Amino acid sequence: MKPSGSEDSRTSTVIRGIAVSPGVTVATVYRLETASPSDLSTEAPIDVPRELKRFSDACEAAAQELTDLIERVSTEIGAEESRIFQSHLFMLRDRAFVGKVNSAITERLHRAEQSLAEATAEYEKIFGSITDEYLRERIVDLRDVAARISNHLTEEAILDDIHPDKPVVIVARDILPSQTLHFGQLQIAALVTEQGSRTGHAAIIARSLGMPAVSGLVSIMEHVRNGDTIVVDGREGLVIINPEPEAKAAYHKIEREFYDLKDKLVENRDLEAVSKDGVSIELLANVNNESDAKAAAEVGAVGIGLFRTEYVFMTHPSIPSEEDQYQSYSRILSASPNQRLTIRTLDIGGDKTVPYFTAGREPNPFMGWRSIRVSFSHPDFFQNQLRAILRMNPGNEMKILLPMVTTVDEVIMAHQLIDESIDQLKQKGVAVEGNWKRGVMIEVPAAAICIDQIIKHVDFVSIGSNDLVQYLMAADRDNPRVASLCDPLSPAALRLTRHVIETCNRANIPVTLCGEMAGRPSSVVALLSFGLRSFSMSPAFVPLIKDLVRAVSLDQLTDLADELVAQTSTPQVYKILCSHLTRIAPHLARLDVNR
């Protein structure tokens, strides 16, 4: 895709959003398109035969996916569940629908993405006027089919339009987990999104990759074109589109300073994370795949505190078998620092979906049928994953982590399924080696409040601060209108987090925090004052937090916990923490996201 317009002919534009990942970069814009006609540029001429082939190839790839899904879902979950994909396959091969897309390409000279979006919108209008509720709801299935085709078009467009050695800033309305699967092939300098917050998915991706990011930039897609130069300041939540030469040069200088500081921090990889007064702090890493695990070892993490197994499912062309999962998990274990791995069972739902599990259009998917609830609904499927996990030869420390647990009854039910899985393996002659630790992720306020009851049934606890804060504040962290409420430094969030940490410490139950708080210096200061001694974060932040740990004396934080929870507003909390951080490690204060 060629740039339309040059920075010389376009006015410099400054837009302020939410700072979600620190750092500064100057690079070229790449718009990550979504299936919306209004977002797709029609200025550049298109190659009609090429666009027709792109659409045809995407349809064929989608059809093959659906065919594989029908077979695997029928075998492993049930014939009834596979019928939805059979209907999707019929829609995909509908001549009228395919014809509308091809006509838009040949007659209106629109790209395949826009033509698909236009045809989908036309059908939505038709379906929306139907009075029969069942038929009217079939538009949901059509959207799913269109999204499947669009994913293949997007994959090809990204790899075709961006040269692998060309740094780009991804600009998008939002970034979904499925869209990140091809990011490893690109040289991405920063992320900019219209939607999202400090704990939203785009923020998590950016921090995991150690790059600047700004979210909550309403209508940013209307202001940028592919090829524009853009400055992204992840400290201040600022973007500048086509900056003036003086500003561009100034930000290039700041960008170099940030890279120099990050390079210097990486040098501490072989040093121990011990405070000035001799307290050892455990620094672990959150990972999605084998490359993340290798990165964790390279930066000096002592183990993996959270392996998100859902990415094995999201990247697999169909349902991964027990053997597929076993091989994937074994590779992660081999790459893990010190052979230490905490493996979380499947956590799908919300913004992380796989096509063979769907509850229809839920009004609030983040609080609906997701995570451990899906696993309980399909115990055979769940035990397939458990057996794959339990087959691994444990390293120095292996843990099974259950996500989104709400009640003690759920913990007991999960333990029963784990025990049954062990028995199933023994019956097959497969020995389950080692003493597997079993723990829960505390991300539901009900579980946090009743933590004293839950810890009687587990070996360890992990605090998932991202979702815990979202549910506590009753605010969608990816909704710009309310995302400001989802701050882990709010007094309510701090009080609940402190309650969980102190309750676990009194009972001598190991507790780790694996949310994004763990990689933010100001938050870590607060958590240390609460008595937390184990943190799991994106690998990119391990050197930063290690430097902070080695600079702090925990004696300095004796009275800080009470002072923080006594505050009545988040800005007051932040002001106190900034003061402490500046005093402890002024050079790290520059790498903390400003409010």
108 and 140 together in one domain: yes
Give the E-state strand segments of 340-425 in sequence order.
Answer: 340-344, 397-402
pLDDT at residue 408 in the model:
97
Counted domains in the chain: 4
**Residue 271 included in any domain:** no
Task: Decide the pairing of beta strands 229-233 and 238-241.
Answer: antiparallel
What value does the mean pLDDT take over residues 485-504? 95
Residue 4: pLDDT band by 50, 70, 90 thresholds? very low
For 198, residues 6+ apart whose C-beta sits below 8 A from its C-beta are 18, 19, 20, 215, 477, 483, 486, 487, 516, 593
Q: Which residue has the higher pLDDT, 407 or 129?
A: 407
Instruction: Report the run of H or E that residue 441 belongs to, with start and end.
Output: strand 437-442
Instruction: Report the run of H or E that residue 448 belongs to, with start and end.
Output: helix 445-449
pLDDT at residue 36 in the model:
45
For 94, residues 6+ apart whose C-beta sits below 8 A from its C-beta are none
Residue 504 tokens, joined = 């676990």
What value does the mean pLDDT take over residues 407-413? 97
pLDDT at residue 174 in the model:
78
Would you call 529 exposed, middle or buried from its count of C-beta atoms within 10 A (0-12, 13-18, 19+)?
A: buried
Catalytic residue among 59, 486, 504, 514: 514
Backbone angles phi, psi at 102, to 5 degrees: -65, -35
55 and 151 together in one domain: yes
pLDDT at residue 362 in the model:
63
What value does the mean pLDDT take over residues 439-467? 97
**Residue 554 included in any domain:** yes
175 and 29 together in one domain: yes
Which CATH number covers residue 249? 3.50.30.10
Q: Which residue has the higher pLDDT, 516 or 242?
A: 242
pLDDT at residue 595 in the model:
53
pLDDT at residue 8 in the model:
47
Residues 357-390: pLDDT tens digits?
Answer: 655 556 666 777 788 998 998 899 999 999 999 9
Mind giving me the DSSP string for 137-196?
A: THHHHHHHHHHHHHHHHHHHHHHHHS-TTS-EEEEES---GGGGGGGGGS-EEEEEESS-
Catalytic residue among 201, 486, 504, 580: 201
Cβ–Cβ under 8 Å, residues 284 and 512: yes
Indicate if the pLDDT at residue 531 is higher than 90. yes
399 and 510 together in one domain: no
SS3 (DSSP) at 244? coil
Residues 389-400: pLDDT tens digits?
Answer: 999 976 667 899
Using the structure block, give the residue that is written with the tokens 């870590």: 524
447 and 473 together in one domain: yes
257 and 328 together in one domain: no
Residues 532-569: pLDDT tens digits?
Answer: 999 999 888 899 999 999 999 999 898 999 999 999 99
**Residue 277 included in any domain:** no
Residues 276-334: pLDDT tens digits?
Answer: 999 999 999 999 888 889 989 999 999 999 999 988 887 776 788 999 999 999 999 99
Indicate if the pLDDT at residue 7 is higher than 50. no
What value does the mean pLDDT take over residues 486-514? 96
Mean pLDDT of the chain: 85
pLDDT at residue 37 in the model:
40
- Of 576, 582, 564, 581, the closest CA to residue 522 belongs to 581
Residue 137: pLDDT band by 50, 70, 90 thresholds? low
189 and 237 together in one domain: yes
Tell me the residue range of the domain where 390 lies: 283-290+302-432
Which CATH number covers residue 568? 3.20.20.60
What value does the mean pLDDT take over residues 192-197? 82
Angle 179-301-395 from CA coordinates, rounded to 5°: 95
Which CATH number covers residue 105? 1.10.274.10
Domain boundary among 374, 401, 432: 432
Q: Which residue has the higher pLDDT, 70 or 157?
A: 70
Indicate if the pLDDT at residue 38 is higher than 50. no
**Residue 269 included in any domain:** no
pLDDT at residue 468 in the model:
95
What value does the mean pLDDT take over residues 7-21? 77
471 and 407 together in one domain: no
Domain boundary among 137, 160, 183: 160
Domain boundary among 404, 432, 460: 432
**Residue 386 included in any domain:** yes
131 and 210 together in one domain: no
Residue 418: pLDDT band by 50, 70, 90 thresholds? very high
pLDDT at residue 237 in the model:
87
How much of the chain, in percent, has pLDDT values that exceed 90? 46
**Residue 567 included in any domain:** yes
Indicate if the pLDDT at residue 528 is higher than 90. yes
The pTM assigned to this predicted structure is 0.74
pLDDT at residue 371 in the model:
87
| Backbone region of residue 564 per phi and psi (left: phi > 0; alpha: psi in -120 to 50; beta: other values) | alpha
454 and 576 together in one domain: yes
**201 among known catalytic residues:** yes
| Range in 150-159, 235-244, 508-517 the model is least confident about | 150-159
Residue 492: pLDDT band by 50, 70, 90 thresholds? very high
361 and 254 together in one domain: no
**514 among known catalytic residues:** yes
**Residue 73 included in any domain:** yes
pLDDT at residue 136 in the model:
56
Provide the H-helix boundaries in 163-282.
201-209, 220-223, 245-266
Residue 2: pLDDT band by 50, 70, 90 thresholds? very low
Cβ–Cβ under 8 Å, residues 84 and 141: yes
80 and 216 together in one domain: no
What distance in Å separates the CA atoms of residue 242 and residue 260, rounded to the nearest whole number? 25
**Residue 453 included in any domain:** yes
